[in-house]
Amino acid sequence: MAKQSLPLIMEPKELEKQLGAENLLVVDVSRSEIYDQGHIPGAAHIDYAQIIAARPPAMGELPSEPQLSDVFSSIGMRPENHVVAYDNEGGGRASRLLWTLDVVGHVNKSLLNGGWQAWVNDDLPISTDPVLRPRSQYPVTFLDAAVADKSYIMNHLKDPGVVILDARTQAEYSGELKRANRTGHIPGAVNYEWTQAIDQANSLRLKSAEELRQALSQIGVTPDKEVIAYCHTHHRSAHTYIVLKNLGYTRIRGYPGSWSEWGNITETPVE
């Protein structure tokens, strides 16, 4: 399989044709009980809790390099693999895995469009066989380009070339719903709830690129800007990150601390 031969957003029927290809690695990030009930044939399983680290108040941080190396090695992942990730919850978990792969510089990866729902609705093959792949040695080194931490955001709050994108619900954004000590949003952030990118009537696939571009440009999220996406634990906003990447945005960062950190400490400004 040639490098970059597969699209970032992959259709289920396209993936079915690739199953069994030498460097393909399908990864299911659904809950283990869902995986056990049925999964894509050959798909390895990663528990979502394995790819995040809780360091209160921040509940969605990156694990350490050795921890991630162990997780990826446990499913036999190799740097040359083309990883196709999916889940059964709209793609947030799978997107968090793909964002993490960006952080470690893993080049070839795709999100299964619509995830498990689309696979099942397209009547594609399902397996209940557990998949145990030979352990590998996957090296992990973090790169900074895909990550924004609290300090980075504080330094760019008034930067006209940076737009902060809040992927939470409007109620969380406005402060009506309280999930941290403080309510509201990062000053200057625009709100685009992550599910607005999903077509509920089309097996949870993404809306058309044209529709997404139009909605984002209306709130000032344009490709000439650097975009920092956040939610509460960088789960929902990881999906937004992949949406932006697929639309051709070249400077995108995710804030893993997100509101669980920003809203629970006192030194950060709130709007």
Distance CA 229, CA 238 (A): 7
* Number of C-beta neighbours around residue 210 at 10 A: 9
Alpha-helical segments (H) within 123-207: 150-155, 170-174
Q: Where are the alpha helices (DSSP H) in the chain?
A: 12-18, 32-37, 65-74, 92-103, 115-121, 150-155, 170-174, 209-218, 236-246, 258-262
Q: Which residues are catalytic?
A: 231
Torsional class of 97: left (φ above 0), alpha (ψ -120 to 50), beta (otherwise): alpha
Residue 182 three-state SS = coil
Q: Are 44 and 26 in contact (CB under 8 A)?
A: yes
* Torsion from C-alpha of 11, 14, 16, 17, nearest 10 degrees: 180
Residue 115 gets the label, from left (phi > 0), alpha (psi -120 to 50) or beta, of: left
Find out whether 127 and 36 touch, Cβ atoms under 8 Å.
no
Angle at 180 between CA 176 and CA 182, to 5 degrees: 70
